[in-house]
């Protein structure tokens, strides 16, 4: 009897843990870690999750995650984050992302103009990438 209670308890504890880590969506989101870096606003996170996964997430393509890996966003330095945000905006404005192949298979991942505007406004609000590493306050 005792061991049964214990296993029920541990199962509920583990599922609660998953719920907290993964937001109960069965899909781990970018952890809202406290960092002095740039935080992606939730509304944009949703767009990236819908349209840029699975390529730009951990376990996604090698080339795509080299450019942008949203699972590692918090590990990028603020300079790199700002630079990537600006690259994301240009890739979207130039209609390069999501790639044509992916659009054909899943037309619903193509971004709407207002979503691209919101992303570009956010990236434009970030500090310029050009700040040299050595002058950067840690």
In which region does residue 97 sit, left (phi positive, over 0), alpha (psi from -120 to 50) or beta (all else)? beta
Cα separation, 126 vs 13, in Å, equals: 40
52 counts as binding ligand HEC under rule CB under 6 A: yes
55 counts as binding ligand HEC under rule CB under 6 A: yes
56 counts as binding ligand HEC under rule CB under 6 A: yes
When the beta carbons of 40 and 111 are compared against ligand HEC, the nearer one is: 111
127 counts as binding ligand HEC under rule CB under 6 A: no
38 counts as binding ligand HEC under rule CB under 6 A: no
67 counts as binding ligand HEC under rule CB under 6 A: yes
Cα separation, 138 vs 35, in Å, equals: 11
∠ at Cα 109 (106, 110), nearest 5°? Answer: 105
Q: Contact region for ligand HEC (CB under 6 A) — 7-15, 34-42, 54-62, 125-133?
A: 54-62
Go through 20-37 and write b for each residue having 16 or more CB atoms within 10 A of its CB, e for each that does not: eeeeeeeeeebeeeeeeb
Contact positions vs ligand HEC (CB under 6 A):
51-52, 55-56, 61, 63-64, 67-68, 87-88, 91-92, 97-99, 102, 111
């Amino acid at each position: 009897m005792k061991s049964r209670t214990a296993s029920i308890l541990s199962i509920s504890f583990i599922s609660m843990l998953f719920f907290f880590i993964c937001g109960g969506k069965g899909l781990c989101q970018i952890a809202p870690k406290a960092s002095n870096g740039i935080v992606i606003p939730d509304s944009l996170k949703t767009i990236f999750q819908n349209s840029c996964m699975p390529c730009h997430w951990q376990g996604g393509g090698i080339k795509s995650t080299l450019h942008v890996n949203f699972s590692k966003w918090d590990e990028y330095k603020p300079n790199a984050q700002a630079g990537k945000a600006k690259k994301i905006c240009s890739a979207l404005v130039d209609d390069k992302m999501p790639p044509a192949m992916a659009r054909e298979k899943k037309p619903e991942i193509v971004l709407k103009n207002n979503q691209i505007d919101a992303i570009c406004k956010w990236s434009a609000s970030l500090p310029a990438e050009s700040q040299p590493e050595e002058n950067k306050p840690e």
